[in-house]
A and B are shown apart, each in its own frame.
Chain A
C-alpha cells in the first residue's frame, strides 16, 4: 500500500524530470507516451489502492522535509476516503485529458513543454490531495498555482496571455495569505501542522477551544479557498485563465485544481462545523457566487467564457453545500462536475479545433452535422450541467438544493437562490449548445474573426494545413476521452442516489471523514420520500424549462444577440458587471500609484534627507578632501584616527 502511494505521487515528477532533460531529443510520440503514462500509472495504482483499502487511513513517508526546528514536517502522504476520492478523479480525468491533449496539441512546437507542465500539475495536485500536513498541502497548492500560471501563459508570445497568467498567480496569492495565516494560527494553537492530528485535537477539544480562534482559522482557510476556487470576490482570474490551451481549462480550471478549495474545507470540515459563523460565510459566499456568475454566463459570446463562468457558478454550489453542512453533497458535485465540465471543455476544444481557433459562439452554428461525436457528447454534458435527470449533474445538484430547501432560516433562502441559479444555468447551457450546434452556419464567412479574438484565441494548432472549407470531426485521441467522459456524465449520478433509493455509495464511503463534523453539527436531516421527490420535481421543472427556453430561443441563431448590446442589463451582463474595471480603479490603480509614490518618496525625501546629512558631513570634512581627492584616503585617515583614538583610550 505504501509503495502504491509513493508511486502515485512520484510518477508524475519522474516524468517531469525525464521530459525536461530529454526535451530536445524526445520525439513527440515518445513524449506523449511518457506524459500520459505518468498519469495512467498513478491512476491504476489508485484503483489498486482503492480495492486494497480497508477503511483505515494509510500514511506513506518518503523522507523528512523540515525537522531541524520545532516545525516537524515530513514528506508524508496519507490515503483516506477523501484523498482517495480526489486522487481517483484527478488521475482518472487527468489521464483522459492527457490523451486528448496528444491530439489537441499535436502540431504545437512546444508539445513537450506542454506535457512537462501538465505532469508537473498532476504531481502537485496529488501532493495537495495526499499531503498529510498543511505545509505539504500548501506545497501542492502553490505548485498547482505555478502550473496554472505557466499554462495560462503557455502561448506567452501574446502579452495578454502572460498577463492573464500573472493575474491568476497574484489573485491566488491573496488567497494564499489567508492559508498562511490559517497555518500559523493552527501551529500556534496545536503545535503541529499534521492534518489528521490537528483535526483529531480540534474534535477532542471541541468544547474548550476558543470559538473566535476556530472561526478565525476557518475564515482564513476560506480566504485561501476563495482564491483557488474562484469565489467572490477573488473569482476574476478564472475567466481570464481561459487564455490557456483548452485541455488546460478542462483539467485545471474546471475539473481539478479549482476544486482544491472544496477539498480544503472538506478536509478541515471540523473547524467549519464548530464555527456557525464561518459556515454561514461559506454558504453565503458560495450561493452569491453561484448566482452572480450565472448572470454573467447568460450573455457571454465566447464558448469558453460561458463555460468558465459556469464553473465559477458550480463551484459556488459546492461551497453552498459545504456551508450548510451537506458535505457529502458538496463532494458529490465536485465529482459529477469534473465529469461533465471536463466533457464540455474538451467538446469546446474540439469545436475550436475544427473551426481553426474560432471561439465566438456567434460565429458558429450548425456544427451538428460536421462534428457528430462532439455534438452528442456535448449534448450529454449540457444535459448534465443543466441538471436534467437522469444525468449526473441532476443528482448532485438536487442533493445540494434539497439539503438547503428543507432546512430553516437562511439556508432555505439560499436554496431558493440556488433554484434561480439552476434555472439560469439550464438556460445559458442550452443557449450555448444551440448557438454552437444548431441553426445556420455562421462560420467561415470572411475572416475567422481573428481581428477581435486574436489575443484570446486558442492558437495551439497549425495554420494552413487544414482544409478551410468544412469543419471536420477531431481525431480519435480527442473523441475517445469525450466518449468516456460522456458515459461518466450519464452514469455518475449512480454514485449517490437519492436517499429513498437506498443506494449511496459515496455517502457511505465518506462517512468516516465527516463523522467528527457531524458529531458537532448533529446528524444531517433525513428527508421524507415526498420531500425528496418534491425537490427533485421542482428543480427538474426549472431545469427543463430553462433548457427548453434557451434552446428554442437560439436554435435558429443568435438573433439580436449577434450585435453587442449597448445599454441596460444586457450591456452590464455582457461586460461582466464591469467588475474587472471596478477592481482596476479601486484596488489595482491605487496600489500601483502607491508604488510610484514610494519610488518618488524614496528618491526625494529619504535619499534627499540622507544625502543632505551626508552633504553636511562632506562639507565639514572638506579639508580632508582638499588634501586627498579619493574617498578611500578619507576613509584610511578616519581609520587611522580611529586607531589612534583606540590607542589613546586603551593605554
Chain B
C-alpha cells in the first residue's frame, strides 16, 4: 500500500544514496581524462559522502518492517512504481555496498590501462547506483532494472581492466548472468499478470504481490525462473564456473565488488522474493537446493584446496562460503536464516578483504601463484598480518565475524535439517585446511625467489582501505547484536509466509 502522501512527507534518503553515485559518475565523466588526482578525488568525495549518508539507514525500523519508504508513480498503467524501502535484511548490504566503493578507489593505482582511469571510476559509481538500488527496491520491476543495471558496469570493469583472458571471462560472466535474467523476467511478468487476474488491477509492488496466492504448480514454475537467476549469482554448484574466471581476470576492485556485493544479489533475491512470494515452491525446492548448497560447501572447499593461484583459491572459497549461506537460508529456521543473513555480510567483508590483500600482493610482483612468494611474514609483516587475520575471519575463528554466522547457521540448521547441518560443518574443517596451507605457503618459510625477498610492506593507502573491514571483522565477531537486532525481526517478517503453510 504505497501512498503518495508518505512519499511527500517521508525523507528521500534512499533516492539520495541510490542516485548520488550516478550524479558522481556524470561529474567524473565531465572531468578531463588526464587529471588522475582530480578524477580520484571527485570519485572519493562522492563515494565517501554516500557512505556517510548511507549510515543513516542504520536507523531502520527495528520491528522488521520497511523504513525510509518512498513511492512515486512510474508506469501507472502497469502498476509499476518507483518504490524504495529498506529493512534489517537490506540495511547492512546497502552500507556494505557503499563501503566497498571507496575501498575500490584505493586499488586504482595499478590499473592495467591507467589512461582509462576515468572509465573505471565512472563504472564504479554506476555499479554503486545499481547495487544500492537493487537492495532498496520495493517494486519488482524496479528491482529487476537495478539487478540488470549492475551487470553492465561490472562487465566493462572486467572486460576493459582485467587480465590476459579478460574478454573470455567477461563474456562468460555476461552470458551466465543473462541466461539467468531472462527466465527471471518471464517469472516477473507472470507474477504481474497473475496479480492483475486475481486483483483486477496492476501492481508490481512486492508487498502487494505477497498478498496473492498462486497454486503450487504455478509457484514451482515462477520460483524456477527466479532460482536460476539467483543460483547463478550466488553461485551455486554446478553454475559456479563463471566465478573463478571472472575473479581471476577482474581487476582488484572488480573482484572486491563481485565478492562483497554482487554474489549477495543471489541470496538476497531468495530471501526478498523467492521465499516470501513463493513459499510453497520454496519449501518444495528446499531439499534440492540444500543438496546443491552442501555440495557447494564441500566441493568448493576441495576446489579451493586444489588451486595454486591465490585469486582462484579465494574465488573457490566463495563458492563454499556462499554454500553456507544457502544452507542457512533454506533450513527455514529462524536462527539459521539470521545466521545466513549475517554470513552474507561476513563473506562480503572477509572475502572482500582477501581480494584486497591478494590484489595488493599481486600488484607488487604481478604474480599470484601460492608458491611464488614465501616468507611474506618476514618480508612484509604488515601485509602478512592482515592476510592472516582475514584468513582466520574467513575460517570462522570465534571472536571474529565468520564464526557467529557459521555457528548460527549450523546450530539453527541442525534443528530442522540435522544431516545437512553436519555435512555443512565439514566445511569448517576443510576451510581451515585450504586457508592455512595458503597462509603457510605465502607467509611462512623462506622467500622462494630473489624478487620475493623485496616486497613493499602494506602501504598507508592499503591500510586505510583495509582498516574498516578489519574493524568490522572484530566488531561483528564480538558484538554482532548491533546487526542481529535489526536483522532478526526482518527475517521473521520474511519467513512469515512459511508459517502459514503446513
| A interface residues with partner B (beta carbon < 8 Å) | 63-71, 135, 138-139, 142-143, 146, 149, 153, 156-159, 161-163, 165-166, 169-170, 173-174, 176-177, 180-181, 183-185, 187-188, 591-592, 594-596, 598-600, 602, 606-607, 609-611, 614, 617-618, 631-632, 634-635, 638-639, 642, 645-646, 649-650
- Nearest Cβ in chain B — how far from A593, in angstroms? 10
Bound-state CA distance A362–B163 (Å) is: 57
B306→A598 contact, CB < 8 A: yes
Chain B, 303-336, CB within 8 A of any chain A CB? 303, 305-307, 334-335
Bound-state CA distance A67–B421 (Å) is: 21
B445→A162 contact, CB < 8 A: yes
Bound-state CA distance A313–B120 (Å) is: 62
Bound-state CA distance A646–B140 (Å) is: 13
Bound-state CA distance A163–B483 (Å) is: 37
Q: Is the interface of A mostly helix, strand, loop or mixed?
A: helix
Among residues of A, the one whose C-beta sits closest to the C-beta of B156 is: A632
Could you write out 28 A-B pairs with CB less than 8 Å apart? A66-B484, A67-B484, A69-B484, A69-B488, A139-B399, A146-B392, A149-B436, A156-B377, A157-B378, A162-B445, A165-B440, A169-B436, A176-B429, A177-B425, A177-B428, A180-B407, A181-B425, A184-B410, A188-B414, A592-B305, A602-B299, A602-B303, A631-B155, A632-B156, A642-B182, A645-B189, A646-B185, A650-B78
Bitwise, B428-455 to A at CB < 8 A (1) or not (0) is 1100111011011001111000000000
B238→A177 contact, CB < 8 A: no
Measured between beta carbons, the chain A residues less than 8 angstroms from B156 are 632
Measured between beta carbons, the chain B residues less than 8 angstroms from A156 are 377-378, 443-445
Among residues of B, the one whose C-beta sits closest to the C-beta of A70 is: B335
A610→B338 contact, CB < 8 A: no
Whether B26 is near chain A, meaning CB under 8 Å from some CB there, is: no
Known: A68-B485, A631-B159. 9 other contacts (CB 8 A): A69-B338, A69-B339, A139-B399, A146-B392, A158-B445, A159-B445, A185-B414, A606-B238, A631-B170
| B interface residues with partner A (beta carbon < 8 Å) | 78, 148, 151-152, 155-156, 159, 170-172, 174-176, 178-179, 181-182, 185, 189, 192-193, 237-241, 299, 302-303, 305-307, 334-335, 338-339, 375, 377-378, 392, 397-399, 403-404, 407-408, 410-411, 414-415, 418, 421-422, 425-426, 428-429, 432-434, 436-437, 439-440, 443-446, 478-481, 483-488
B148→A639 contact, CB < 8 A: yes
B155→A635 contact, CB < 8 A: yes
A177→B408 contact, CB < 8 A: no
Measured between beta carbons, the chain B residues less than 8 angstroms from A599 are 302-303, 306-307
A173→B432 contact, CB < 8 A: yes
Q: Evaluate whether A650 and B299 lie within 8 angstroms (CB atoms) in the complex, with A177-B426, A606-B238, A642-B182 already known.
A: no
B152→A610 contact, CB < 8 A: no
Measured between beta carbons, the chain A residues less than 8 angstroms from B181 are 642
Q: Given A64, A162, A614, which contacts B172 in the complex, CB threshold below 8 Å?
A: A614
Q: Which of B156, B175, B425 has the most CB of A within 10 A?
A: B175
A68→B483 contact, CB < 8 A: yes
Measured between beta carbons, the chain B residues less than 8 angstroms from A638 are 178, 182
A174→B483 contact, CB < 8 A: no
Measured between beta carbons, the chain A residues less than 8 angstroms from B422 are 181
Bound-state CA distance A181–B429 (Å) is: 13
Among residues of A, the one whose C-beta sits closest to the C-beta of B172 is: A614
- Nearest Cβ in chain A — how far from B278, in angstroms? 20
A153→B444 contact, CB < 8 A: yes
B446→A159 contact, CB < 8 A: yes
B425→A595 contact, CB < 8 A: no
- Nearest Cβ in chain B — how far from A243, in angstroms? 12
Among residues of B, the one whose C-beta sits closest to the C-beta of A157 is: B446
Bound-state CA distance A187–B336 (Å) is: 13
Q: Evaluate whether A617 and B397 lie within 8 angstroms (CB atoms) in the complex, with A70-B334, A174-B429 already known.
A: no
Bound-state CA distance A63–B487 (Å) is: 20
A187→B392 contact, CB < 8 A: no
Among residues of A, the one whose C-beta sits closest to the C-beta of B237 is: A606
Measured between beta carbons, the chain B residues less than 8 angstroms from A65 are 478-481
Q: Evaluate whether A173 and B429 lie within 8 angstroms (CB atoms) in the complex, with A156-B444, A594-B302, A631-B171 already known.
A: yes
Q: Which of B170, B432, B439 has the most CB of A within 10 A?
A: B432
A68→B487 contact, CB < 8 A: yes
Bound-state CA distance A638–B155 (Å) is: 15
Bound-state CA distance A177–B429 (Å) is: 7
A69→B335 contact, CB < 8 A: yes
Q: Evaluate whether A632 and B152 lie within 8 angstroms (CB atoms) in the complex, with A173-B432, A188-B414, A649-B189 already known.
A: yes
Measured between beta carbons, the chain B residues less than 8 angstroms from A596 are 306
Q: Evaluate whether A617 and B175 lie within 8 angstroms (CB atoms) in the complex, with A596-B306, A632-B152, A650-B78 already known.
A: yes
Q: Given A163, A176, A618, A649, which contacts B193 in the complex, CB threshold below 8 Å?
A: A649
Measured between beta carbons, the chain B residues less than 8 angstroms from A591 are 433
Bound-state CA distance A635–B173 (Å) is: 12
- Nearest Cβ in chain B — how far from A332, in angstroms? 30
Q: Given A63, A162, A614, which contacts B175 in the complex, CB threshold below 8 Å?
A: A614
B302→A595 contact, CB < 8 A: yes
Measured between beta carbons, the chain B residues less than 8 angstroms from A162 are 440, 444-445
Measured between beta carbons, the chain A residues less than 8 angstroms from B241 are 602, 606-607, 610-611
Measured between beta carbons, the chain A residues less than 8 angstroms from B175 are 614, 617-618, 631
Bound-state CA distance A139–B181 (Å) is: 43
Bound-state CA distance A173–B398 (Å) is: 13
- Nearest Cβ in chain A — how far from B188, in angstroms? 9
- Nearest Cβ in chain A — how far from B96, in angstroms? 18
Bound-state CA distance A635–B153 (Å) is: 12
- Nearest Cβ in chain A — how far from B236, in angstroms? 12
Q: Which of A169, A188, A634, A635 has the most CB of B within 10 A?
A: A635
- Nearest Cβ in chain B — how far from A449, in angstroms? 22
A135→B407 contact, CB < 8 A: yes
A595→B303 contact, CB < 8 A: yes
A184→B421 contact, CB < 8 A: yes
Bound-state CA distance A596–B308 (Å) is: 11
- Nearest Cβ in chain B — how far from A408, in angstroms? 37
Bound-state CA distance A520–B151 (Å) is: 64
Measured between beta carbons, the chain B residues less than 8 angstroms from A170 are 429, 432-433, 436
Measured between beta carbons, the chain A residues less than 8 angstroms from B179 are 617
Q: Which of B303, B411, B487 has the most CB of A within 10 A?
A: B411
Bound-state CA distance A69–B78 (Å) is: 40
A64→B375 contact, CB < 8 A: no
Among residues of B, the one whose C-beta sits closest to the C-beta of A191 is: B415
Measured between beta carbons, the chain A residues less than 8 angstroms from B399 are 139, 142-143
- Nearest Cβ in chain A — how far from B482, in angstroms? 8
In the A-B complex, the 3 residue pairs with the smallest Cβ-Cβ separation, listed nearest first, are A68-B484, A599-B306, A162-B444
Measured between beta carbons, the chain A residues less than 8 angstroms from B176 are 610, 614
Measured between beta carbons, the chain A residues less than 8 angstroms from B415 are 187-188
Measured between beta carbons, the chain A residues less than 8 angstroms from B238 are 606, 609-610
A187→B414 contact, CB < 8 A: yes
B436→A166 contact, CB < 8 A: yes
Measured between beta carbons, the chain A residues less than 8 angstroms from B377 are 156
Among residues of B, the one whose C-beta sits closest to the C-beta of A178 is: B425
Among residues of B, the one whose C-beta sits closest to the C-beta of A163 is: B440
Bound-state CA distance A163–B443 (Å) is: 12
A157→B432 contact, CB < 8 A: no
Among residues of B, the one whose C-beta sits closest to the C-beta of A161 is: B444
Measured between beta carbons, the chain B residues less than 8 angstroms from A635 are 151-152, 155, 174, 178
Among residues of B, the one whose C-beta sits closest to the C-beta of A167 is: B436
B425→A139 contact, CB < 8 A: no
Q: Given A66, A174, A611, A632, which contacts B480 in the complex, CB threshold below 8 Å?
A: A66
Bound-state CA distance A646–B432 (Å) is: 48
Measured between beta carbons, the chain B residues less than 8 angstroms from A139 are 398-399, 403
Bound-state CA distance A452–B353 (Å) is: 41
Measured between beta carbons, the chain B residues less than 8 angstroms from A609 are 238
- Nearest Cβ in chain B — how far from A531, in angstroms? 46
Q: Evaluate whether A173 and B428 lie within 8 angstroms (CB atoms) in the complex, with A162-B440, A617-B179, A638-B182 already known.
A: yes
- Nearest Cβ in chain B — how far from A405, in angstroms? 39
Bound-state CA distance A600–B428 (Å) is: 23
Bound-state CA distance A610–B428 (Å) is: 29
